[in-house]
Amino acid sequence: MKDYESYSPQSLLEEFIVSASRPVITSSFSVNSVVILDMALKIKPDIEVVLIDTGLLFKETYEFAEQLKSRWNINLIVVKPELSLEEQEKRYGKELWNRDPDLCCKLRKVEPLDRFLESGVDLWITGMRRDQSPTRKNLGKVEIHRLPSGRKITKLAPLADWDRKKVWNYVFKNNLPYNPLYDKGYTSFGCVPCTSLPVSDDERSGRWTGKGKLECGIHTFTEKEEI
Ligand code: SF4
């Protein structure tokens, strides 16, 4: 494969989006997502933008997603778990996220995303960065991943070599909106029960704090092909 390390996020998105048959962006509506959306919508205004709705996201995130949807006319696809929260509680007991967060993430995030990616998606774009977490330090800008079914998919991380400062500079320079949770002190957020204010300089230190978990699983359930 070509060496894409020197490509800018815009040129990487341009090269891959135009040649994909079904490109999608998964978005947590974080500041990274906003940057990716701003760039990608200029290339393909109707690109599918996927929100994995666990039913447990912050109200600010739901409102911000709606705000961006109308402001940028986003083709927002909301992907939901098979089980409602009530059904999950009935089957697995109360507050599964406290007892078995890996299973909870599998049911509410990983399986819904897997089903969605299996519906013909060939390009998966994320806003991941290497400096976000030790689990992301070797992130490639372009990776080939195998879904559990064996089907291959291209995974793109155009901001892999950006840092937090560069992301915020882009947001301010381009006068982009951002999730109001940042103004409340959050540096990374997902579901309410598993998100707290950061406990260190590590921007993901407020996720599953004290549970020894760094990733929800959506970025680890596929198998990366070594090229
Ligand atoms: S982040 Fe927490 S509440 Fe959300 S799916 Fe994972 S374990 Fe469940």
Task: Give first-to-last CA distance, the chain, whole Å.
Answer: 7
- Residues whose CB falls within 8 Å of the CB of residue 226, separated by 6 or more in sequence, listed in order: none
Which of 52, 56, 99 has most ligand 1 atoms within 8 Å of its beta carbon, as the pocket-test mutant? 56
Residue 161, judged by CB atoms within 10 A of its CB (0-12, 13-18, 19+), counts as middle
- For the cut 90, the answer to whether the pLDDT of residue 209 exceeds it is no
Confirm whether 104 is a catalytic residue. no
Q: Which atom of ligand 1 is nearest to the CA of 194?
A: 2
Q: Please give the backbone phi and psi of residue 31, each rounded to the nearest 5 degrees, phi first.
A: -70, -30
Which of 88, 89, 95, 97 has most ligand 1 atoms within 8 Å of its beta carbon, as the pocket-test mutant? 97
CA nearest ligand 1 atom 4, residue: 191
- For the cut 80, the answer to whether the pLDDT of residue 227 exceeds it is no
Q: Is 3 within the bounds of a domain?
A: no
CA distance 221 to 147: 8
Q: Is 88 within the bounds of a domain?
A: yes
78-95 tens-digit pLDDT: 999 999 999 999 999 999
Q: Please give the backbone phi and psi of residue 133, each rounded to the nearest 5 degrees, phi first.
A: -165, 150
Q: Is 4 within the bounds of a domain?
A: no
Q: Is 226 within the bounds of a domain?
A: no
Q: Is 83 within the bounds of a domain?
A: yes
Q: Domains in the chain: how many in total?
A: 1
Catalytic residue, from 104, 105, 191, 216: name it. 216
The CB of 193 under 6 Å from ligand 1? The reply is: yes
Q: Is 107 within the bounds of a domain?
A: yes
- Residues whose CB falls within 8 Å of the CB of residue 224, separated by 6 or more in sequence, listed in order: 143, 144, 145, 146
CA nearest ligand 1 atom 6, residue: 105
Q: Is 108 within the bounds of a domain?
A: yes
Q: How confident is the model at residue 57 (pLDDT cuts 50, 70, 90)?
A: very high
Q: Which atom of ligand 1 is nearest to the CA of 104?
A: 8
The CB of 101 under 6 Å from ligand 1? The reply is: yes
Q: How high is the mean pLDDT of the chain?
A: 96
Q: Print the domain residue range for 48.
A: 9-220
Domain CATH number, residue 139? 3.40.50.620
Q: Which atom of ligand 1 is nearest to the CA of 109?
A: 5
2-15 tens-digit pLDDT: 899 999 999 999 99
In the block, tokens 């291209």 appear at: 154
Q: Which atom of ligand 1 is nearest to the CA of 97?
A: 7
The CB of 109 under 6 Å from ligand 1? The reply is: yes
Average pLDDT over residues 172-177: 98
Q: Which residues pair with 146 in a beta bridge?
A: 152, 223
Share of the chain above pLDDT 70, in %: 100
Q: Which residues pair with 23 in a beta bridge?
A: 123
Q: Is 227 within the bounds of a domain?
A: no
184-203 tens-digit pLDDT: 999 999 999 999 999 988 88
Kindly write down the DSSP assignment for every residue of 143-207, as one continuous string.
EEEE-TTS-EEEEE-TTTT--HHHHHHHHHHTT----GGGGGT-SS--BGGGB---SSSSTTTTB
